[in-house]
Structure 1
């Protein structure tokens, strides 16, 4: 039997594995606000379902809290925290943002949580750290509408802020890899055609993204996560990552299409809505379909994104068991 690490590496390289790797993730409101509980729930969750990797289950607020935003959890079914205050209101506020010392404050205790998790986990279980690309960080600091308006009306000010945010993120990414993380999971929410056009993304998104990914270049399991119904898969297919995760079931590009332009592993196959509203049999059918579509290779079976806190236990077990219950002839077929 292959180790979890070897199974994922085989998928990245397009080689046969004993079965498709599998993973899923959720938010842990409350537990994601201190290092001990964050590391604890991440490890317990992976062990409960025997998942092939650990994705550190951070809240989005962690990447901007040290810049001064305030937040609270108010019962979101997805486990998200709400932003109570923003830092950027006027265009001039962008120019006040500077790179942070990632060894202090919220960044610092997340590194502490990562260190604890790496010490306690099985050595063959990869761990990746969720990060949010600088454009998303800028939106958390200002709100989506303000960011997009300022990006078009005051591009120089926004660009200066993105440079500072990218430097902070690059420092954090590098520190995570140096601590022993196997890669980062870079969530690039604004790399979607319903938010920005391709030219805007080339100017404001790509340089900052690449700065962060280059800082994580010593990782072997870096993941790019894209959002929305119209993700920029083709435009970002050359990013230096080993895996791509997106809403493949509900976007305008499916697994086979993405496999034609991206060379690494594809993370998907299960629709998030089905996770909460479907039956175990329906989930198993989606899993079989996805694995067959990829001929048993290059697929890490996952949902497209974070799943709802209301997902039944039976449905989570259905995702995990799906990769074990396929006929032997399906695993690693050419």
Structure 2
């Protein structure tokens, strides 16, 4: 009988387990902004109800902006994003406000408390991943730009891209301040909370329709690599999101897992990973998250079984291609799990 951790670490060691480890995640917008206890209670209920093989925490998408003074109306959500009341960055002068912050205070202290209480509340040694956006994605949100992800069109006409071209030195200083803050936060997650891993959101910065490869290599990759170093010895799960997202950019990153949406146009299929992905990195994905919340249980099960068939000789982590809809139905989740366990 495999434990959850044994199953997960087998595929990280590029060995076939009894079956691929499986999990899914979604936002609980009504319970994510009222302190650690309510959020932990919600995440534990999600885990205990569906008995996932690993836990991917889904904190509110605004907590980075809060750290640098962003204000939000949590009674008014658009999708999973609360309405912005005050943007931290409205122009070049505001870049000076993005200073290095201690990684164990304010909203960061709340998230450290979440990890500690989750670990205490889990019934067994279950791999747990905290969600963390990459520094450039955080800058994007500080500029009030919705992360480029999923299947939305990507526009280069935004404040962050404008500042990158008009004020590159100031942008690099700002990115370094964000990186130093997140590195200190990472240190406390590891040393104070004993975190197992990080779900590192690269969002859609690598999309062909957003940044050029040269822009990505200048304004994204150097700060990613600093974070990879700071996150040791955590397991690092990189998530690249959206259409034409070029997961190949991350093929030789010093990471453990690469998660990308094979269901999105212009992206390679999961079973092509051995052809281009570094042998030290485990692929992750396999189910189109757009099926959830639409009473598509049969389609979800069929797609999951097809993924297992395609990947039968390739160790991988099974997951939806992105966060599930907030109106996901229980029968859809049960169908996903039953299909995922069909090798049991």
Which is further off, 76-85 or 251-260? 76-85
Matched position secondary structure for 2:113: helix
Deviation (angstroms), 1:77: 7.2
Q: Which has the higher helix share?
A: 1
Moved beyond 6 Å, runs of 4+: none
Q: In the alignment, is the contact (CA less than 8 A) between 2:244 and 2:264 conserved in 1?
A: no
* Counterpart-to-counterpart distance in 1, 2:41 and 2:96: 38
Q: In the alignment, is the contact (CA less than 8 A) between 1:79 and 1:308 conserved in 2?
A: no
The answer to whether the aligner puts 1:299 opposite 2:344 as a matched pair is no
Q: In the alignment, is the contact (CA less than 8 A) between 2:143 and 2:160 conserved in 1?
A: yes
Deviation (angstroms), 1:281: 1.6
Q: Which runs of 5+ in 1 are unaligned?
A: 329-334
Matched position secondary structure for 2:317: strand
Give CA-to-partner distance per residue, 1:9-37, whole Å, 9 cap, x none: 11122212111111000111132121111
* Counterpart-to-counterpart distance in 2, 1:201 and 1:313: 39
User: TM-score with structure 2 length normalisation?
Assistant: 0.90
The answer to whether the aligner puts 1:325 opposite 2:338 as a matched pair is no
The number of aligned residues is 326
1:72-151 alignment to 2 at 5 Å?
A: 72-73=73-74, 76=77, 78-144=79-145, 145-151=158-164
Deviation (angstroms), 1:306: 0.8
User: TM-score with structure 1 length normalisation?
Assistant: 0.93
1:1-334 alignment to 2 at 5 Å?
A: 1-33=1-33, 34-73=35-74, 76=77, 78-144=79-145, 145-178=158-191, 179-189=193-203, 190-219=205-234, 221-252=235-266, 253-262=268-277, 263=279, 264-277=281-294, 279-326=296-343
Which is further off, 222-231 or 71-80? 71-80
Q: Which runs of 5+ in 2 are unaligned?
A: 146-157
Deviation (angstroms), 1:78: 4.2
Alpha carbon RMSD of aligned pairs, Å? 1.6
Which is further off, 77-86 or 204-213? 77-86
